[in-house]
Copies of this chain bind each other. A is one copy, B any other.
Amino acid sequence: MNTNYYIIVPIVVGLLAVAFAAYLARYVLSKDDGTPAMQKVADAIFKGAMAFLNRQYRTIAILAIVAAIVVGLVLALLGLTTKSNAIDWNLGWHTSVAFLIGALCSGVSGYIGMYVAVRSNSRTASAATRSLGEALMVSLRGGAVSGFLVVSLSLLGVTSVFLLYGGLSNPALAPELIVGFGFGASFVALFAQLGGGIYTKAADVGADLVGKVEAGIPEDDPRNPAVIADLVGDNVGDCAGRGADLFESTAAENIGAMILGVALYLATKNVGWILFPLVVRAFGLIASAIGLLWLRPSRVTEPDKAAGKDPGEIAMQQLNIGYFITCGLSIIGVFLGSYLLLNGLGVSTASSFAPSVAPWIWFGLAGTTGILLSIAIVYITQYYTAGTWRPVREIVSATLTGSATTIITGFAVGFECVALPVLAISGALFLSFFFGSQVQILDPSIPHFINPGGIFGTAVATMGMLMSCAYILAMDTFGPITDNAGGITEMGGGAESVRDITDALDGVGNTTKALTKGYGIGSAALAAFLLFSAYLDVLYSLSHNSAFYRVDLSDIKVFVAALIGITLIFFFSALAIRAVGTAAMRMIEEVRRQFRENPKIMAEDPADRVDPDYARCVDISTRGALRAMILPGVVAVATPIAIGCILGPSAEAGLLMVGTMGGIVVATFLNNGGGAWDNAKKYIEAGYLRVNAEGEMVDRLDTTGTILGKNSEPHKASVVGDTVGDPFKDTAGPSLHVVIKLLSTITLVLAPLFIALHP
């Protein structure tokens, strides 16, 4: 069968996934949205979130249009430097249009996903009054709308631009024309994640420092002027920001793998190598949908029948079962995809020890490696950020000697926690490369020192890892929904037993948010090698100079560019962290002003109280975030362009690679360090910190120990740790995910420029 026909798979499955998202949205929106008090809070959150998103996307749209025009013009003018010596509108407009489509799809998926997410929060709060099972279902499905939209629109976008640009008639050229799609997606993601990340933490820090610490009112108290901004922030940061992040991950990695497939297509005349990433992604959507649908309220043991089992544990277990179903089906899918597409002429097994194993099986094994890596990363992240293990307890124990030792210990944990993920990623890279190397693909067009099977093996592993993306993203968006549901219950005056359920789900949401970050950075690391190889393929195809395949660190330009790459990661993080500080400072001033000028907010008698001006705080967070996201964003975009122009394409490869490595390590440190501090605080708040007569920490089940809980000195120290971790884990860390991928898409798009300047 002609593998061309498989292009139908991503189209049909993509459309079905959009329909599935619509079905989930209808399911969620049809649910009861709670008491009028709840609705009032939910409405305020909805309005604030949508207002921010509107203004943010307006700013991003202007930036994106300018960028698209500039990139298109630059690429077109490059024609003047070639033999033809004429303006080459072809490459220019293809890239510009693809850029804009990528940017638009990213925006649409973020927008609709968040619309449903902020509509799900009050429905989750309402469902929690009835049962844990229903609350879990509403919140997870609300999150899944975003998850399925992101992945399906990314898939449909790449596929349709590929078709539009003549992918089936000229499969060798189309992938390079559509790299603009990835750049557009990265560009939007950078500003979406930065803006959302700054917004959420400015509001959070402002609400906590003035409300909780200075005024002494509890979390999510309606008297806090910044409380709505804080709840809005959860959505725009975790939901819209992470959605844009994973949108561009799936897009960029699909496109990179398709570019790698071009060389193999040229060698084998089988377009399956190019279509493989799209088809496997489609299979992943099916696997994720089945995993999600397996979860039903009837399968959830309600807390009153659970014999004292924690509702959080019950919910987490359900989510895990769905995830394992998704992974199991993904393994079948990746083998099936390999069998259908990675076969044919010119491909043979080169394995010396297992010569009878067919090539597609080797690639299936490579894909399985990626899927297993995703599970490993999930467990390693849990180890470092969950209160059940040594790292968080180490931080809890340090809170006994004050905030300084809390910070120092959290640092040690954060610096330490990069080692296991990197070893797991390294192992997966080697293993998938090894599996791929067992397949021989010979063609005179491929330089002899390149191992195309091995490189494609790492690409297949990345595709495998990203198959569960929609499911993971559903679990991620579940986080802000349940967090908001808790806030709505609190502010809407819900019962204690209801708050128990929403608190438990919120705790689960914290874990799943941390897992998603680990998953995001792990897949970025696995993809780094493939994206880097794709860049070298592009350089080779543009220049026909095989020397570009070598990125030689002993070349002083490559060395310096690499050093600048890793420095960029640190400098960008500094700007992102500082931006939170600047925006938070404005919020602090506003909250203090409201308390000062309007004492009725804090009136003793609840009947005398007036509502604070929530909208002003929302507005300040919005402006602050939009203003503060520009500088770090521009630095991240401008540095790789400048280095590529000044030092040339090989140096750029050095910056790309070493910058990516630095980004992986620093982002892991920021995410997990911040997560561990957060959970150390939660550990104490849960009443698990017990000390003996000498003041030493004992086991949380040791009933002879004295509990040190909320408002104790150790708790205060843990709050400092948590606050320090906030901009790490929710602003700088996640933004670095995007920066890493942005480096790749910028280099892919601007490779012709770098080569023209350094022929």
Contacts and interface: CB of A to CB of B under 8 A. Distances in A.
Interface of A: 205, 209, 213, 398, 401-405, 407-409, 411-416, 418-419, 422-423, 425-426, 429-430, 433, 454, 458, 525, 529, 532-533, 536, 549-554, 556, 558-560, 562-564, 566-567, 570-571, 573-575, 577-578, 580-581, 584-585, 588, 653-654, 657-658, 661-662, 664-665, 669, 719-720, 723-724, 727
Contacts of A584: 405
Contacts of A654: 553
A134 B642 CA distance: 53
A720 B552 contact: no
A654 B532 CA distance: 16
A646 B583 CA distance: 49
Contacts of A720: 402-404, 407, 720
Nearest to A559: B529
B430 A573 contact: no
Nearest to A454: B556
Contact of A426 (B563, B574, B664): B563
B658 A562 contact: yes
A586 to B, nearest CB: 12
Contact of A408 (B403, B556, B581): B581
B556 A433 contact: yes
A665 B570 contact: yes
Closest 10 CB pairs of A and B: A415-B574, A404-B723, A416-B574, A412-B578, A551-B553, A422-B567, A412-B577, A419-B571, A426-B560, A415-B570
Contacts of A408: 577, 580-581, 723-724, 727
A401 B588 contact: yes
B426 A564 contact: yes
B556 A429 contact: yes
A564 B425 CA distance: 10
Given A407-B407, A425-B563, A581-B398, A419 B724 contact: no
A145 B433 CA distance: 56
A276 to B, nearest CB: 20
27 contacts: A209-B402, A209-B405, A401-B585, A404-B723, A405-B581, A405-B723, A408-B723, A408-B727, A411-B577, A412-B574, A412-B578, A414-B574, A422-B563, A422-B567, A454-B556, A529-B556, A532-B554, A536-B554, A550-B550, A550-B554, A552-B552, A553-B653, A553-B657, A562-B657, A567-B665, A570-B669, A662-B662
A347 B346 CA distance: 53
B662 A429 contact: no
Nearest to A455: B556
Contacts of A536: 554
A408 B201 CA distance: 12
Contacts of A549: 554
Given A407-B407, A415-B577, A551-B552, 8 more contacts: A402-B720, A405-B723, A408-B727, A412-B575, A415-B573, A422-B564, A426-B563, A533-B554
A646 to B, nearest CB: 10
Contact of A409 (B529, B564, B581): B581
A219 B661 CA distance: 43
A245 to B, nearest CB: 21
B430 A571 contact: no
A664 B209 CA distance: 35
Nearest to A560: B426
A651 B555 CA distance: 16
Nearest to A562: B661
Nearest to A533: B554
Contacts of A564: 422-423, 426
A282 B426 CA distance: 46
Of A415, A549, A573, A578, chain B has the most CB atoms within 10 Å of the CB of A415
B404 A560 contact: no
Given A581-B405, A724-B407, A566 B662 contact: yes
Nearest to A577: B412
A410 to B, nearest CB: 10
| Residue with the greatest number of chain B CB neighbours at <10 A, chosen from A205, A209, A552, A553 | A553
Contacts of A552: 550-553
Given A536-B554, A563-B425, A566-B662, A571 B398 contact: no
A724 B407 CA distance: 7
A455 to B, nearest CB: 8
A402 B213 contact: yes
A416 B575 contact: yes
Given A554-B549, A574-B413, A418 B567 contact: yes
A640 B423 CA distance: 15
Contacts of A574: 411-416
B559 A429 contact: yes
Nearest to A653: B553
Given A209-B402, A213-B402, A720-B403, A556 B422 contact: no
A425 to B, nearest CB: 7
A369 to B, nearest CB: 14
A744 to B, nearest CB: 14
Contacts of A669: 570
B573 A664 contact: no
A563 B564 CA distance: 16
A567 B419 contact: yes
A429 B651 CA distance: 15
Contacts of A415: 570-571, 573-574, 577
Contacts of A405: 205, 209, 581, 584, 723
A454 B588 CA distance: 55
Contacts of A402: 209, 213, 720
Nearest to A724: B407
A728 to B, nearest CB: 8
A563 B536 CA distance: 19
Contacts of A213: 402
Contacts of A429: 556, 559-560
B551 A554 contact: yes
